Amino acid sequence: MDILSNLALGFGVAISAEALFFCFVGVTIGTFVGVLPGIGAVAAISMALPLTFYMDPTIGLIMLAGIFYGAQYGSSTAAILLNIPGTATAAVTCLDGYPMARQGRAGVALFVTTITSFLGGSFAILLLMSFAPILAKFAIGFGSVEYFAIMVLGLVAASTIGIGSPVKGLTMVVFGVILGLVGTDVSTGVERYTFDFFHLHDGISLVALAMGIFGISEVLASIGQNVPSMPKKLGLSNMLPTRDDVRRCGLPTVRGTLIGSAVGILPGSGPSIATFMSYAVEKRISKEPERFGRGAVEGVASPEASNNAAVQAAFIPTLSLGLPGDAVMAILLGAMLMHGIVPGPQFIGQNPEMFWGLIVSFWIGNVLLLILNLPLIGIWVRLLSIPYRILYPAMLFFICVGVYSVKNSMFDVYVAIVFGVVGYFMLLLRYPAAPLLLGFILGPLIEEHFRRAMLIGRGDFTVFVQSTISAVFLGVAALLLTASAVRVYRMRARS
Residue-range domain boundaries for the chain: 2-494
The answer, as to whether pTM is greater than 0.75, is no
Q: What does the alpha-carbon distance between residue 425 and residue 408 come to, in Å, rounded to a whole number?
A: 28
> Are 91 and 290 contacting, i.e. CB atoms less than 8 angstroms apart?
no
- pLDDT value of position 39: 60
Q: Which helix (H) or strand (E) holds 193?
A: none
Q: What does the alpha-carbon distance between residue 369 and residue 350 come to, in Å, rounded to a whole number?
A: 30
Q: How confident is the model at residue 232 (pLDDT cuts 50, 70, 90)?
A: very low
Share of the chain above pLDDT 70, in %: 81
- pLDDT value of position 204: 86
Q: How confident is the model at residue 231 (pLDDT cuts 50, 70, 90)?
A: very low
The answer, yes or no, to whether residue 300 has pLDDT greater than 70, is yes
> Are 274 and 258 contacting, i.e. CB atoms less than 8 angstroms apart?
no
> Are 28 and 75 contacting, i.e. CB atoms less than 8 angstroms apart?
no
The answer, yes or no, to whether residue 208 has pLDDT greater than 60, is yes
Could you tell me which residue, 17 or 335, shows the higher pLDDT? 17
Least-confidence region, from 70-79, 84-93, 108-117: 84-93
**Helix, strand or coil for residue 296?**
coil
Q: How distant is the alpha carbon of residue 413 from its chain centre?
A: 22
Could you tell me which residue, 472 or 237, shows the higher pLDDT? 472
The answer, yes or no, to whether residue 394 has pLDDT greater than 70, is yes
pLDDT in tens, 124-148: 877 777 766 666 566 566 778 887 8
Q: How confident is the model at residue 158 (pLDDT cuts 50, 70, 90)?
A: low
Q: What does the alpha-carbon distance between residue 215 and residue 397 come to, in Å, rounded to a whole number?
A: 11
The answer, yes or no, to whether residue 417 has pLDDT greater than 70, is yes
Q: How confident is the model at residue 459 (pLDDT cuts 50, 70, 90)?
A: confident
Task: Name beta bridge partners: 183.
Answer: 192
Could you tell me which residue, 4 or 158, shows the higher pLDDT? 4
Nearest by Cα to 323 from 69, 140, 133, 57: 140
Q: What does the alpha-carbon distance between residue 155 and residue 170 come to, in Å, rounded to a whole number?
A: 8
Q: What is the mean pLDDT of residues 322-332?
A: 65
The answer, yes or no, to whether residue 487 has pLDDT greater than 50, is yes
Q: DSSP secondary-structure letter at 229?
A: P
**Helix, strand or coil for residue 192?**
strand
**Whole-number mean pLDDT of the chain?**
77
Task: Name beta bridge partners: 310.
Answer: none
Q: Is 76 exposed, middle or buried (0-12, 13-18, 19+ CB in 10 A)?
A: buried
Maximal C-alpha separation, the chain: 68
The answer, yes or no, to whether residue 90 has pLDDT greater than 80, is no
The answer, yes or no, to whether residue 113 has pLDDT greater than 80, is yes
Q: What is the mean pLDDT of residues 85-89?
A: 68
Highest mean pLDDT out of 71-85, 155-169, 295-309: 295-309
Q: What is the mean pLDDT of residues 303-319?
A: 80
Least-confidence region, from 38-47, 86-95, 386-395, 469-478: 38-47
The answer, yes or no, to whether residue 75 has pLDDT greater than 50, is yes
- pLDDT value of position 29: 85
Cα dihedral across residues 304, 308, 309, 313: positive or negative: positive
pLDDT in tens, 234-285: 555 566 778 888 888 888 888 888 888 888 777 656 677 788 788 888 887 8
pLDDT in tens, 431-443: 877 778 778 877 8
Q: What does the alpha-carbon distance between residue 342 and residue 346 come to, in Å, rounded to a whole number?
A: 9
- pLDDT value of position 1: 43
| Side-chain half-sphere exposure of 336, counting CA atoms within 13 A | 25
Checking 329-332 for CB contacts under 8 A at 24+ apart, the result is 331/42, 331/45, 331/46, 331/49, 331/64, 332/45, 332/61, 332/64, 332/65, 332/68
